[in-house]
Amino acid sequence: MKVLFNMSAITIKGLTKKFGEFTAVDDVSFSVESGELFGLLGPNGAGKSTIINMLTTLLIPTAGDAYIAGYDLRKHPEKVRNNIGVIFQDPSLDIGLTGRENLDFHAMMYNINSDERKKRIREVLDIVGLADKADILVENYSGGMKRRLEIARGLIHYPKVLFLDEPTLGLDAQTRRTIWDYIRDLNRNYGTSVILTTHYMEEADYLCDRIAIIDHGKIIVLDTPFGLKNRLQGDRVSVTIEEDIGLIAGALREKEWVRDIVQNDRMLDVVISDHETNIPDIFQTASKLGIGISSIKISKPSLEDVFIHLTGSTIREQEGSRKTAKQDRMRRRMLR
């Protein structure tokens, strides 16, 4: 049964981070309730990782305040670190050790005594389904197993808040879904508050209780996945156009019943109100312009549609975006 929210696990007020003249995070405020699974979405360079780095004490805020598990981020960073777990985007396991040895070494860093370490290692290995793989060298683990071990390592000291930065990046669809289920079970059964950043819209939609979309260092909207998808107030109509897609796109933008429209090669994704009445008008508009329609499909707006509407870009994970993200991280390290 889902743990009820009863207090704030994280409270952020006016959090700001500047690198020279560049403002990476601009006066951000929000709270994450105890037991909540909270998502941070945004394009590369929007400020997501900078927020995570500040909340995990890796970066000092330029301005603003943050409280995690009741502790002031500035005044008590060591107490904050004792109450959080972090799974970073880039792998950080020692592949020359077994899974058990990785966990044991990490637990020693928290000064957990030997008997307690053994107990906790058994517990977290059971949580992520790796008890039978504990004594295998990590270099022989699959990508999904390594990610699960990193989650187990992040839980070894019983954190109140778990930060997951792109937890399924680069994994295949089946493995991603398995990791999602582990995250949901962890959140529901143990009441661990989770902050998740992700490039995968379906991941955020499936996992998160609430989602904040951030762009240019500011939170532009914060709502439940259901609430976000309802913001477009209509149905999504995907229309395949034979030619002159820009011409019909311009004509449809003039219609009062068109809520949003995105052009992608020969496909138009149009969010419209009252599709039963207005879809015939799409065909009539195309006919008047002498444009043929190859196919048409109706569905409800997705989180991806909302994201495009609010930020003007997609968030789909591609090789290019991964390269850009790494370049962004390198640039920011140089600016520190």
pLDDT tens, residue by residue, 7-40 = 689 999 999 999 999 999 999 999 999 999 999 9
- Total domains, the chain: 2
Mean pLDDT of 161-190: 86
- Final residue of a structural domain among 229, 257, 279: 229
Q: How far is CA 245 from CA 248, 267, 268, 286, 306, in A?
A: 5, 8, 8, 10, 22
Assigned domain for 322 exists: no
**CATH number of the domain that 272 lies in?**
3.30.70.100
Domain containing 191 equals: 8-229
pTM here?
A: 0.77
Q: What is the 3-state secondary structure (H, E, C) of the chain?
A: CCCCCCCEEEEEEEEEEEECCEEEEEEEEEEEECCCEEEEECCCCCCHHHHHHHHCCCCCCCEEEEEECCEECCCCHHHHHHCEEEECCCCCCCCCCEHHHHHHHHHHHCCCCHHHHHHHHHHHHHHCCCHHHCCCEHHHCCHHHHHHHHHHHHHCCCCCEEEEECCCCCCCHHHHHHHHHHHHHHHHHHCCEEEEECCCHHHHHHHCCEEEEEECCEEEEEECHHHHHHHHCCEEEEEEECCCHHHHHHHHHCCCCEEEEEEECCEEEEEECCHHHHHHHHHHHHHHCCCCEEEEEEECCCHHHHHHHHHCCCCCCCHHHHHHHHHHHHHHHHHC
- In this predicted model, what pLDDT tens digit does every residue of 307-317 receive, in sequence order? 888 887 665 44
> Do 62 and 201 fall within a single domain?
yes
- Whether 5 shows a pLDDT value over 50: the answer reads no
Place of tokens 């995070």: 25
Assigned domain for 264 exists: yes
Mean pLDDT of 160-170: 88
- In this predicted model, what pLDDT tens digit does every residue of 111-149 receive, in sequence order? 999 999 999 999 999 988 899 999 999 999 998 899 999
pLDDT at position 336, please? 36
> Do 282 and 141 fall within a single domain?
no
pLDDT at position 203, please? 92
Highest average pLDDT, of 71-85, 156-170, 171-185, 272-286, comes from: 71-85
Assigned domain for 256 exists: yes
What percent of the chain stands above pLDDT 70? Answer: 91
